[in-house]
Amino acid sequence: MSASAWIAAARPKTLTAALTPVVVGSAVAASLGGFRAAPAIAAALGATLIQIGTNLTNDVQDFERGADDEQRLGPVRATQSGLLTPRQVRSGAIVAFLFAGACGLYLALVAGWPVVAIGLASIAAGILYTGGPLPLAYNGLGDLFVFVFFGHVAVCGTVYVQMLRVPEAAWWAAVPVGALATSILVVNNVRDVATDRRAGKRTLQVLLGRRAGVIEYWLLLAVAFAVPAIMASRHRAPYAVLLTWVTLPFAVRWAAVLARTSEGPRLNAALAGTARVLLGFGVAFAAGLVLGGQGTP
C-alpha cells in the first residue's frame, strides 16, 4: 500500500499520451481565438484520470488473464509483482474513473451533452480495453482504439469544450497525435509478443508477426510527420507547425532499435523514447499553431 506501489501501478510515463492531445487541442483552439483556460485544465485532468483508471484496470486484468507473468519483459506491474492486490487495484481504478467523471460533469455544464457521450465512451473503452467478455487488446483492436481515442476523441473533444464546435484544423491535428500514441502501443506489443501469444492475447503483432509491427511503426511515423506539412501546404496551419520535424531524428532512432533488437531493456527504452517523441512532437505542434498566428476556421 506504499505510495511507490500506486505510482508504479498508475504508470506515470504513459500519462504524456493523455496530456499531449489536450495540449494540441488547446493550441488549435488558441490559434483560432477560442482558448478557454478552465475547460482546458478540466480536460487535461479528466484525461489523465481516465488514463490512470485504464492503466489500473489493465494491470489487474492482464495479470488475471495470464498476460503478465514472471517472464514479463516490461516494467514491474503492481498486481503481478504482489505490490498491490487485485481488489486494491480495482478500487483504485474506480476512484480514478469517479474523479474523471467529476471533471466530465463540469465540462458537461460548460459544453453540453456531447461531453457526457465522450466521457462515458472513453471510460467504457478504458475498462473494455483489457476487460469484459471481448477485451479490445485481446482481439486485435487495441491499435484502432488508441488511434481513435487518443487522436480524434481527445483532440477534437478538447477543442469542442473550449469552442463548442470542431473546426477542420482539429480533425487534421488529431491524426499525428493518434498515430504517435499508437506507435507507443506497437513497441509495447512487439516486446510482449511471446508472453501475449502464450496468454492468448491476440494483438496485431501476435496475429501478423513481429516484422509487421516494425512496418506498422514506420507507417505511423510517416503519417504523423506528413500531416503538418500537408496542413501547412493546404493553408490549414501556419508553416511553423513544421517545428515538429525536430523530433524526427529521435523517432527514426527508436524505429531502428525496434527493428534490430528483441531485448527487453532496449525495447523498454524504445517505448519510453517513443513516448518522449509524442510529447516533443505535441509541444512543437502546439507551439507552431500558436506562434504561427491565426489559423483557418
pLDDT at 75: 67
Structure confidence at residue 8 as a pLDDT band (50, 70, 90): confident
Quick check: is 296 in a domain? no
pLDDT at 131: 80
Specify which residues 139 forms β-bridges with.
Answer: 202
Quick check: is 99 in a domain? yes
CA–CA distances in Å: residue 230 to residues 122, 220, 225, 252, 294: 29, 15, 9, 20, 17
Quick check: is 70 in a domain? yes
279 close to 21: Cβ distance less than 8 angstroms: no
Q: What would the grid cell of residue 60 be?
A: 489487474
Torsions phi, psi for 202 (to 5 deg): -90, 70
Place of cell 527493428: 259
Domain count, the chain: 1
CATH (domain of 226): 1.10.600
Q: pLDDT digit string (tens) for 205-255? A: 999 999 999 999 999 999 999 999 999 999 889 999 999 999 999 999 999
Q: pLDDT digit string (tens) for 49-90? A: 999 999 999 888 888 776 665 655 666 677 877 788 889 999
Give the angle subtended at the CA of 28 by the CAs of 293 and 155, to the nearest 5°: 165
Q: How many CA atoms lie within 13 A of 232 on its CB side?
A: 18
Quick check: is 197 in a domain? yes
Please determine, for residue 3, whether its predicted confidence score (pLDDT) is greater than 80: yes
229 close to 238: Cβ distance less than 8 angstroms: no
Mean pLDDT of 44-51: 96
Structure confidence at residue 21 as a pLDDT band (50, 70, 90): very high
Quick check: is 297 in a domain? no
pLDDT > 70 in the chain, percent: 94
Which H or E element spans position 219?
helix 210-233
51 close to 18: Cβ distance less than 8 angstroms: yes
Specify which residues 202 forms β-bridges with.
Answer: 139
Quick check: is 275 in a domain? yes
- For residues 241 and 226, give the distance between their C-alpha atoms in angstroms, rounded to a whole number: 11
pLDDT at 206: 92
Please determine, for residue 93, whether its predicted confidence score (pLDDT) is greater than 60: yes
Which H or E element spans position 252?
helix 248-260
Place of cell 524526427: 248
Mean pLDDT of 192-205: 87
175 close to 223: Cβ distance less than 8 angstroms: yes
Structure confidence at residue 262 as a pLDDT band (50, 70, 90): confident
- For residues 261 and 253, give the distance between their C-alpha atoms in angstroms, rounded to a whole number: 12
- Distance between the two ends of the chain, CA-based, in angstroms? 49
Quick check: is 191 in a domain? yes
What is the reported pTM?
Answer: 0.92
| Closest C-alpha among 163, 180, 147 to residue 295 | 163
Q: What would the grid cell of residue 137 be?
A: 487488446
Tell the burial category of 278 from Cβ atoms under 10 Å away from its Cβ (0-12, 13-18, 19+).
Answer: buried
* Average pLDDT value over all residues in the chain: 91
pLDDT at 73: 60
Please determine, for residue 163, whether its predicted confidence score (pLDDT) is greater than 70: yes
Range in 92-101, 196-205, 238-247 the model is least confident about: 196-205
